[in-house]
Structure 1
Amino acid sequence: MGLTSDKVLALAVGAGVLLFAGTVWWWPRLAGRSVRAVLGRMGLLFATQVAVFAAVGLVANQSFGFYGSWADLFGRENGQGVVVDHSAGTAGGPLRVVGDRRVTRASGARPDVSGRVEEIRIVGRTTGIGSPAYVYLPPEYFQARHRARTFPATVVLTGYPGTAEALVDKLRYPRTALELAKAGRMRPMILVMLRPTVAPPRDTECVDVPGGPQTETFFAKDLPEAVSGHYRVGKGPRSWGVVGNSTGGYCALKLAMHHPEAYAAGAGLSPYYDAPSDPTTGDLFQGDKEQKNRANLWWSLKNLPAPDTSLLVTSSKSGETNYKDTLKFIERVKDKKPTRVSSIILESGGHNFNTWRREIPATLQWLDERLDATQK
C-alpha cells in the first residue's frame, strides 16, 4: 500500500484508536511497581504516541503533498525526470557583488575549473525593488579563450517563502549545471538565483500590486537589465530563460507567457496556474480586474494572444495535487500556436526538494536547447 493510500491512513488512525483504548483498559493492570509493569506502561505510551503521530503525519502529507511514496519519504526515489515535448512535429549599475563562494567543496578549486557563485544585491532601476541573489558563473566565464563570449542566463526562483541559499545548497542548481556541462549534456549557462518574495514577508506572487511592489516588472525588466549590464549575458530575448518551483514555478510560467520579449522559455516545477489570495498575499489586486485576470494563467491562455515562447510543466501521478490541472494546462497550450509546451511527469513524487532535484537535470537541458546567447 502506498504512502498516500487511504487504506494506510485508515490503518494508522485505527491503530491509534485501538492503542489508546488498550492503554485505558490495561493501565489498572499495569499499576504496580514491578519491572514488568513499568515496562508495560512505557510500551503502551510509546506505541500510542507513535501511532498518533503517524496518523497526524499521514493526514498532513495527504493535505499538502510533501511526499508521494515511501521511497520519496526516505529519500530513495532517484529516477530522473524525462522531458516530453508536446509541440506538433517535434520530439551594471543597479547590481553589486557582495561575496562569492565555490560551486564545489573541493579544496583549492579555481573558478576557471569549477565556476563560482557570487552573492549580489540588485536594485531595480524602474521599480526601486531591492533583492539579494546568487549568480552562478560557469568555468568558461573565467577562461581566457572565452573572454569575449556571451552566455545564456536563466533566472531560478524558489517557492514561498523559500531562501535563495536553498537553490544553491539544497536543490544544487550550480553543481548540476556544472556536472551537465562537463558531461557535454548542456552548454555553459549563467544562473541568477533568488526568491520571488521581493517584499518579505508578503507573498506578492510576481504581481504588479496596485500601489505596492511592482514585482512582475522587476523580474521582466529590471532583473535582466541589471544582470546584463554587469555580466557577459547575451542581449537578445533568446538569451534568457526562467525556472522555479511551486510559487516560483507559477511565476516562471507567467513571466514567459506575459513577457516573451524578455524570456524565451519558462519552466514551472510543481506549479499552480492562478495566484492565490490568502493571509500571506493580502489584497494583490486592489479591485483591479485586469490585473486579477492577467494573474490567472487559464484566463491568459483563453483571452491573450499566444506568445512565441516555450513552456515546461512538471507533476507526478502520485504525490502532487496539481497533476490534473497540469494535464489540462498541457492540452490547452497545445492549441495555442506559436506557444510550445513540454512536460515532466513522474510516476511518484511529492511537493519537496527530492522531487525537484530529480527534475532539475532534464529541465536545465531543456532550457539549454531553447536559449541562444548569440542571437540579437
Structure 2
Amino acid sequence: MGPTSRLVIAAAIGLALAVPLVVAVLVYRRSAGRGTGRRVAVSAGVAVSIVLSQVLAIGGLVLVVNRDFGFFPTWSSLAAASEDDNPFAAVAQPASGGAMTTDELKQIRVRGWAPRKVQPPKGDGLYRDYVVSGVQSGTTAKVVVWMPPGHEHAANAKGLPVVFVLGGAYGPVDNVATSLQFAQKAAPLIRSKQIPPCVAVMPEVNIKLPQDTECTDYPGGPQAYTWLARDVPAWAQHTLGVVQPGPRWSVLGWSLGGYCAAKLHAAEPQTFGSGASLQGYFAPSVDGSTGTLASVLQRDPALLQRSDVAWLLRNRPPARTRLLAMSSPADAQSWQLTQQFFGATKGLPGITPMVVDNAGHTYTSWREALPRTLTFLLKDAGAKG
C-alpha cells in the first residue's frame, strides 16, 4: 500500500478530523476540577488541536497532489527523495549553481565560456557555461555544455557526436546540468566503451518564464522552436566544432523536454537522428501557463499538425525513425498520454517503448533511465560520417 493509495489518503484525512477532537476531549477530561489550571489546560489543548488539524490537513492535501501528479508512487521513492537535491520536475526550483558572477561573465566575454561553479567529480568531464544569442529566434539564453573525459581542456569538441538534453517546464537549465547528474551517468558508459565520447548540449528550454512556450514559435512572441531547432544547433556546430548535425546527433528530454525531444526528432530528422522522451507527452499541453497558445493552435491547423508528434510520424516520417518513449504506469502525468501515442503510431517502425515500474515524475527516475537511454541514442554514433 503506497502513498498514492486511496486508503492511505482517506486515513490521513480521517486523522485530520479525528485527532484534534480526541486531543481536545482528553485534555478537557484530565483537567476537570482544577479551576484556573483547567482553563489553561483547555486553552493549550485547543491550541494543540488547531496545530494538529493544520498539519494533518496539509499532509492529506500533499498526498492528494502526489497521487494526481505521480511524483512518488512508492514509499521507497519518497524516502529516496529526501536525499535528492531537486526531486521535482513540474515545480519551479531555485537554480543550482546557476547565477553567473561578474567574473564568470567576464570570462565568457574574453574566451567565450566559463567553467560552471558546480562541477562533476574529477574524471567525469567538465561543465561549461555559455551565453548564446540566436540570430533567427532573437533569443539570448544560457547553454550549458558537458565536455566528456579526456576533452575537459580541449579548445573544442572536434568531430564528437552530440546529445541535446532538454529539461522540464520551469526547471532552469542549471538544474538540468546538476540535478540530472548527466556527467556521473555518462562518463562511466564512455570509460566502459558502451557509448562513444560525446558532447552534451543543454540549452535553456524555458526562454519566456513564466510563460510556458511548449517549444512552439508564437506569432509575434517567443520563437522557442526556432531557438532549439535552428539557433542552438548552428551555434554548437560553429563554436564547439562538433560533428555535422545528422545521424550522430540525438536529443533527449523529460516531461516538457520529452515532448520537445520527440517533436525535434520527428520534425527535424536531418538534424537529430534519434530522440528519447522520458515521461513526456506528444502534443502541446495547453493550460493557463501557455498564454495564447490554445487560440493560436485553433486558428492555425497546420501549426497544430506540426506540433503533434504522432501526426508527424504518420504523415511526414523520417527516413529512419529512432524514438525511445519511456513512461511508467505509476506516473499520472505521462502514462495515459504515452499509451495514446503508442495507439496512434501502432505499426509505424522505429518507435521503442520503455516501461519502468514505480517511476515517479522526478529527477530520480530520469537519472535511473539515463544509462539505458544514452546507450539507445548513441548506439551507432561512434561510426564516422
TM-score by length of 2: 0.81
C-alpha displacement of 1:138: 0.9
Structure 2's unaligned 5+ residue stretches are 84-109
Matches within 5 A, 1:140-159: 140-141=150-151, 150-159=159-168
Pairing of 1:239-318 with structure 2 (within 5 A): 239-284=248-293, 286=296, 287-305=299-317, 308-318=320-330
The residue number in structure 2 matching 1:6 is: 6
Tell me the distance in 1 between the aligned counterparts of 2:194 and 2:310.
Answer: 34
> Larger relative contact order (C-alpha < 8 A, sep ≥ 6)?
1
- Deviation, 1:96, is 7.5
8 Å contact kept, 1:270–1:313: yes
Residue 306 of structure 1 and its aligned partner are, at CA, apart by: 5.2
1:303 deviation in Å? 3.9
C-alpha contact 2:255 2:281 (8 A) present in aligned 1? yes
What is the distance in 2 between the residues matched to 1:258 and 1:185? 28
**Residue 302 of structure 1: how far off its partner (Å):** 4.2
Give the residue type in structure 1 aligned to 2:341. F
Q: Is the 8 A contact 2:256 2:281 kept in 1?
A: yes
Alignment of structure 1 residues 22-41 onto 2, 5 Å: 22-23=22-23, 25-26=25-26, 28-29=28-29, 33=37, 37=41
1:139-183 superposed Cα distances (whole Å, 9 cap, x missing partner): 233588x99951111111111111111122211112221122123
How many corresponding residue pairs?
A: 351
Residues 175 and 9 of structure 1, relative CA distance in 2, 3 Å threshold: same
**CA deviation after TM superposition for structure 1 residue 309, in Å:** 2.6
1:270–1:320 Cα contact (<8 Å) kept: no
Verify the 8 A CA contact 1:96 1:122 in the aligned structure 2.
Answer: no
1:59 corresponds to 2:64: yes
TM-score (norm 1): 0.83
Deviations 1:296-346 (A, max 9, x none): 234334444455231111111223332133233234435123xx1123211
Tell whether 2:109 aligns with 1:99.
Answer: no
Q: CA RMSD in A?
A: 3.1
Give secondary structure in 2 for the equivalent of 1:141: coil
In the alignment, is the contact (CA less than 8 A) between 2:125 and 2:146 conserved in 1? yes
Which amino acid in the other structure matches residue 374 of structure 2?
L
2:333 aligned partner: 321
Deviation readout 1:183-241 (Å, 9 max, x if unpaired): 33221110011331122332111112122222212211211111010113111401211
The amino acid across from 1:256 in the alignment is H
In 1, the alpha carbon distance for the partners of 2:381 and 2:116 equals 26
Give secondary structure in 2 for the equivalent of 1:253: helix
Q: 1:166 — aligned with what?
A: 175
Flag structure 1 segments of 5+ consecutive residues without an equivalent: 79-94
Match of 2:378 in 1: 368
Residues 90-123 of structure 1, C-alpha deviations (whole Å, 9 max, x = no match): xxxxx983311387565xx5xxx54221100111
Distance in 2 (alpha carbons) for counterparts of 1:133 and 1:236:
17
Is 184-193 or 250-259 further displaced after alignment? Answer: 184-193
Deviation at 1:23, TM superposition (A): 4.3
The residue aligned with 2:356 is 346
**Counterpart AA for 2:304:** K
For 1:51-200, list aligned pairs within 5 A. Answer: 51-75=56-80, 97-101=112-116, 104=119, 109=122, 113-141=123-151, 150-200=159-209
State whether residues 118 and 134 of structure 1, in contact with CA within 8 Å, keep that contact through their aligned partners in structure 2. Answer: yes
Deviation at 1:42, TM superposition (A): 6.9
State how far apart, in whole Å, the 2-side matches of 1:139 and 1:274 are: 36
Equivalent residue, structure 1, for 2:16: 16
Q: Which moved more, 1:305-314 or 1:244-253?
A: 305-314
Contact kept, 8 Å, 1:102 with 1:116, in 2: the verdict is no
